[in-house]
Chain A
Amino acid sequence: MKNIKTTLSILSIALMALLVACGGEPECPLNSVSMARFDFRDSKTQASVKLTTGATVTGLATIDGALETDTVFNKAESYMSVPLSYTSQTTYVIHYTETMRDTIELKHKNIPFVSDIECPALMYYEVESFRYTTHALDSIKLVNPKITNEETINFNIYYRGSSAE
């Protein structure tokens, strides 16, 4: 009997400790902004390539009839993660040099999302269509149309050999 009581008491305390331990802080995502990720690749070898040093990416959105611009990326990386606007269309201009640039236009659905009342609401997106120019880039392939705060590849941009480093 004594053993049973001891066992039950220990078990009860352990269960209660587990219960109390589970009442911790909410696990909100660290990254609260959804970004579209474009990976840069060589069109022939499929190998990862970097944008040329000094290249910048400008985002454009039409807000209340006025075109607003914002520099959204300026790193020599093998990919870019860029924000989308809360309108239905966002345009990106990749400036390789002063005279060479490409334009990518995304039409997207905006999806506000509440996962937990203890965490701020997020904006997700779904790419509905896209088009682009081919001055330096060769083509763009849609990999994943759902753009969330998780780090996933959404597009592959393929360059001809000499267009990127």
Chain B
Amino acid sequence: MKRPLISTYIIAVVALSSLLLWPANLHAQAKKTLAADKNAEPELYQGVSVGVDVFGFLNQALGSDIMTTEASVEANLLNKFFPVVELGYASINTTNDETDIFYKTSAPFFRVGLNYNVFHQKSHLPGYFTVGLRYGFSSFKYDVQAPDLVDPNWGHTSIPVSYNAQKTNASWAELVLGLRANVYKGLYTGFTVRYRARLGMTEHENSEPYFIPGYGRGKANNLGITYNIIYKLPF
């Protein structure tokens, strides 16, 4: 299996470079323009944005066995609260080089939650720094196959290890930190870092899922990232 560690570094650099898109000169102009409206009450509905996560594409292009496609729809309320729905599809088809264990799954997933714009009072900023929560769910089947187990003491007995179509439901919570910047008109780019904790998962007698679509590595908790391109719809 190709480890995604190198791509993590590369994406980290790409994500950090997005900070360079923060246009300081625009801030000054925006600050002057918006200063006049400082005391105005913001409207409840501030628009809807749609976004795609390009991290999944880049991750696979850089050699990962994991493919994730993900889109989101987010409403802006008071420039403070952002209820969001995220839908996606993830797949993995991999064999570990050291253990020779094969794992395969592919399934859709969804998440629902809310972001809070920490800098909502600084409306002159051409971007957002958000803290959010998500509830995620995926229903999937996975195949896992390992080399036969050979009895280490009475060495003539071997047991096959092959379990296919293991039907599993998994749910999880995410703490999401996000940063996004306006790059051109209604176009934004940014990234989120997500701490994920599993809430529940179907248990099987012979295996645990290595990868859960939308969650990542099937451990009790993990850390993930998305790199998003977001478009604010003109209505």
Contact = CB atoms under 8 A, between A and B. Distances in A.
Nearest to B124: A1
Contact of A4 (B122, B144, B146, B193): B122
Nearest to B4: A23
B153 A70 contact: yes
B153 A83 contact: yes
B35 interface: no
Interface string B182-213: 00000000000100000000000111101000
Interface in B1-48: 1, 3-5, 8-9, 12, 15-16, 19, 22, 24, 27
A21 to B, nearest CB: 9
Contact of B9 (A4, A8, A20): A20
A85 B151 contact: yes
- The size class of the interface chain A forms with chain B is 35 or more
B206 A118 contact: no
B71 interface: no
Interface string A105-134: 000001111111111110100000000000
B149 to A, nearest CB: 5
A5 interface: yes
Instruction: Pick the most buried of B101, B103, B147: most chain A CB atoms within 10 A of its CB.
Output: B101
Interface stretch (A57-65, A95-103, A137-145, A147-155): A57-65
A9 interface: yes
Given A4-B125, A19-B223, A86-B149, A114 B179 contact: no
A83 B153 CA distance: 8
A121 B94 CA distance: 16
A87 interface: yes
A121 B146 contact: yes
A49 to B, nearest CB: 26
A111 B149 CA distance: 11
Chain A's interface: helix, strand, loop or mixed, by majority? mixed
Contact of A116 (B147, B151, B206, B210): B210
B154 interface: yes
Nearest to A70: B153
Given A33-B152, A72-B153, A114 B208 contact: yes
Contacts of A47: none
B159 interface: yes
B222 A113 contact: no
Contact of A113 (B27, B207, B210): B207
Contacts of B27: 1
A8 B122 CA distance: 14
Nearest to A119: B99
Interface string B156-174: 1111010100000000000
Contacts of B208: 114-116
Contacts of B157: 63, 85-87
Given A11-B177, A16-B16, A86-B150, 7 more contacts: A5-B22, A22-B223, A70-B154, A83-B153, A86-B149, A87-B157, A112-B146
17 contacts: A4-B122, A4-B125, A12-B19, A19-B12, A20-B5, A59-B153, A59-B154, A68-B156, A85-B154, A86-B151, A86-B158, A87-B154, A87-B157, A114-B101, A117-B99, A117-B144, A119-B99
Interface of B: 1, 3-5, 8-9, 12, 15-16, 19, 22, 24, 27, 94-96, 98-99, 101-103, 119, 122, 125, 129, 144, 146-147, 149-154, 156-159, 161, 163, 177, 179, 193, 205-208, 210, 218, 222-223, 225
Closest 3 CB pairs of A and B: A86-B157, A86-B151, A117-B101
